[in-house]
Amino acid sequence: MILAATALVSCSKSLSGGGGEVTGIRGRVVDEPAPYGMVLVKRGSVEMGSQQKDSLWDDIPDAKGISVDAFWMDEKEVSNAMYRQFVYYVRDSIIRERLADPAYGGDETYKIETDKYGEPVTPRLNWSKPIPWRKPNEDEERAINSLYVTDPRTGVKMLDFEQLNYRYETFDYRQYALRRNRMNPERRNYNTDIPTDYDEEVLISKDTAFIDDDGTIQRVTINRPLSGPYDFVNTYIVNVYPDTTVWVNDFANAYTDQYVRYYFASPIYDDYPVVGVSWEQANAFCAWRTEYLRQSYGMRGINFEPFRLPTEAEWEYAARAGNNDQTYSWKTDVPHTDKGCYNGNFKPGFGDYTRDGYIITSPVGSYAANDFGLYDMSGNVAEWTSTAWSESGVHKTADINPDYQYNAAKEDPYVLKRKVIRGGSWKDPSHFVRADVRTWEYQNEQRSFVGFRCVRTYIGSPKAAKASKNGAAAGKTKTKKAKAQKTQGSRSSRGPRGAGASVRR
């Protein structure tokens, strides 16, 4: 709270005089630049949930009116190329750590520990110094090779996936803001009929993680008395490499070995949506993407909201383009156009996966965007949301920016570790790619049909976030832009360098 107030004052315009009248202190509104590959979804409202009865799927109308604030959303699902950038970042950071480690020669130039004046700073990696891939000396070669193993079948050197762990921290603002968690006992309850208990012990729960002596990631949920703001910092260590074996494990008695070998590794699939990524890995990607952008801004003091997974409400609102009458992400109630062209990638018939043009996933952005300029909101891969699963869905939440969060502890029953996924996938019939159909998956599961996209809360000009008069979020992409992006293909997704009743189980 104090930091926020300080920031507000520091960028405000000081007003002197005013004739003794309160005229206000006004700050300067800076409209944030459009994030690469994202579309601004403007604030608006929609009747969220199933709109009509469907006896075949046991759907009953249970829509609820909700409103969401403006947010940026990836126009396409996160691709293999984008996720591979994350994997390589983790790889390179581990190698740089080892190059600076005395056990591998101790080259101190790979780590920055002082500023230009020689004053100590928090140690950080020196990304401007390249890794000597081509002509390493003996110590450098040992450091690099320590992250690789040899494939016993082919003899080819390959990454040791088990070592690709990413550590990040998050601050739980929601728990920090709750009155019951305030440090000052007098501010926990404003009811003056109840005497303040100055000896009250407030217990908090936080996640932390470490790697044990066997190299195994250990996640621990700590319950302890509240001592300060740091109690709301959660630490996670996540192995980031996608599970490439999902193609075999998801389909018994099918020949899918080629996808295990090539789907994530081969450039042929660069522009296809990444799969085999758990909810936990998707959150780690969002945290890395935030830090990666923050590092590029350096010390310029540019403020932006972190990348995150969309809430279930944000996802449905965006998929339906704010349209109460829209069942799919496209406008019609049929999966193809009058000319027989399919609007998305799903399973059109019994055993016929190819009628829509693809047998498994399709390159991101292969089909037309919806009215908000978003691709593949119906079909291709189902998408993780940040929302915890509840049978009551949106009816459990508020009607403004609705979201149900439950951060399951390691010791919690597995049933409490379910997260909402939306949009259906390439292997689902048309019913499950509807924008109003809900389903779920366990947060640590990895599937060949589940991917994700990121969002970021919009904090720019209020005028830019204002919805159009008809209530739609007016995040539409102009025809010229859409055609240009279609021509470019889905390579743009690589990024620059440096509450229906249906449940599918």
User: In DSSP terms, which residues pair with 450 in a beta bridge?
Assistant: 382
Query: How much of the chain exceeds pLDDT 90, in percent?
Result: 64
Torsion of CA 298, 464, 34, 2, to 10 degrees: 20
Q: Which of 16-20, 417-421, 467-471 has the lowest mean pLDDT?
A: 467-471
Burial 215-252 (b: 16+ CB within 10 A, else e): eeeeeeeeeeebeeeebbebebbbbbbbbbebbeebee
Cβ partners under 8 Å of residue 358, min gap 6: 345, 366, 426
Q: What is the pLDDT of residues 390-401, one digit of tens each?
A: 998 888 899 999
- pLDDT computed for residue 472 by the predictor: 44
- pLDDT computed for residue 159 by the predictor: 93
Q: Which of 275-289, 297-311, 370-384, 430-444 has the lowest mean pLDDT?
A: 297-311
Q: What is the pLDDT of residues 361-370, one digit of tens each?
A: 999 999 999 9
Q: Token pair for residue 221?
A: 């949920």
- pLDDT computed for residue 14 by the predictor: 52
- pLDDT computed for residue 410 by the predictor: 87
Higher pLDDT, 180 or 486: 180
- pLDDT computed for residue 19 by the predictor: 79
Q: What is the mean pLDDT of residues 65-77?
A: 96
- pLDDT computed for residue 299 by the predictor: 54
For residue 292, pLDDT over 70 is answered with yes
Q: What is the mean pLDDT of residues 31-41?
A: 89
For residue 448, pLDDT over 90 is answered with yes
Burial 178-197 (b: 16+ CB within 10 A, else e): eeebeeeeeebbeeeeeeee
User: In DSSP terms, which residues pair with 73 in a beta bridge?
Assistant: 39, 455
Angle in degrees, 0-180, between the axes of helices 138-145 and 80-100, rounded to the nearest 10: 140
Query: Can you tell me the distance from the alpha carbon of 92 to that of 126, in angstroms, rounded to the nearest whole number?
Result: 11
Scanning the structure block, which residue is given the tokens 């801004």? 297
Residue 481 is given by DSSP the state H
Q: Predicted confidence band at 111 (pLDDT cuts at 50, 70, 90)?
A: very high
Q: What is the pLDDT of residues 221-247, one digit of tens each?
A: 999 999 999 999 999 999 999 999 999
For residue 12, pLDDT over 60 is answered with no
For residue 193, pLDDT over 80 is answered with yes
For residue 417, pLDDT over 50 is answered with yes
Q: Predicted confidence band at 8 (pLDDT cuts at 50, 70, 90)?
A: very low
As a whole number of Å, the CA-based R_g of the chain is: 25
- pLDDT computed for residue 253 by the predictor: 94
- pLDDT computed for residue 3 by the predictor: 47
- pLDDT computed for residue 216 by the predictor: 87
Name the average pLDDT for the chain.
86
